Structure 1
Amino acid sequence: MVTTPVTNLTFEEYLTYDDGTGFHYELVDGRLELMNPPTIQHFLIVAFLDTALIAEIHRLSLPWLTFRETGVRTGKNKSRLTDLSVVTQEQAKELLNVSAVFETPPLLIVEVVSPDSIKRDYRHKRSEYAAVEVPEYWIIDPLEAKISVFLLEEGFYEETVFTADQKIVSRTFPELAIAPEQVLAAGKLD
């Protein structure tokens, strides 16, 4: 991750910022932080989860949507890019013709860890998502072969770690029946 020279952007300036490079940035305390492009493994895992969550949303006829690589405002001059978010249709309607940065907490956020995002996903995003009251946050960690599910309890996340063939327990999707080994296998091409 490289920090760009642009500093002291407001959240509103970030929403319309375009340096013409096509790169993706997060806004951290007014600074733009360049996000490295994801790996193919990362894309495959996110695609698998996106498909699984969409199927569950349709099965239950929920008024929810999933989005990849949307933003979430996490502070005055902070915005994080998520790998996958689940939001209500009402939240999506608010952003129909503007930058896809949610200012209200998604129902669920999923991040896939890469070697350069360990600290960001486990520490920074965890505390920022809790502060804006994202009720459920998943960290998919192919490096450690585990999935951590964080459920918001009285302003703090309670963590449960799932490995191998343990079924993931989700408050948002209580009937979802997938295990870490299925999710992580989706990131392999063999």
Structure 2
Amino acid sequence: KFAEYEEIGIAEYWIVDYAALGGKRFIGSPKQPTISVYTLIEGEYQITQFRGSDRIQSLSFPELSLTAEQIFQVVL
């Protein structure tokens, strides 16, 4: 889907891996709950990852003031 989303111009999408089920190449090692924000910049996705007390940054939601942990608490 990554390439398809780039092709049709989806400006931003998020993957919320609250259970740390993603592969190490996607969420790092040691595996931990991670929010990955993919932002389309000049036709290619740039990924930013957030964990724990990291404050989420989003071009689509610039007023958002939540940490990754706050989002995980709602999901669980």
Class of the TM-score when normalised by the shorter of the 2 chains: 0.7 to 0.9
Moved over 2 A (4+): none
SS at structure 1 position matched to 2:75: coil
Question: How many angstroms does 1:126 deviate by?
Answer: 2.0
Tell me which amino acid in the other structure corresponds to 2:52: A
The Cα RMSD (Å) is: 1.1
1:180 maps onto 2:68 in alignment: yes
- Per the normalisation by structure 1, the TM-score is 0.32
Q: Which residue matches 2:41?
A: 153
Structure 1 residue ranges without an equivalent (≥5): 1-124
Structure 2 residue ranges without an equivalent (≥5): 21-32
Percent identity over the alignment is: 39
- Written as runs of structure 1 = structure 2, the 5 A alignment for 1:1-190 is 125-144=1-20, 145-188=33-76
Tell me which amino acid in the other structure corresponds to 2:70: Q
- Per the normalisation by structure 2, the TM-score is 0.76
SS at structure 2 position matched to 1:140: strand
User: How many residues align structurally?
Assistant: 64
Larger relative contact order (CA 8 Å, sep ≥ 6): 2
Question: How many angstroms does 1:165 deviate by?
Answer: 1.1
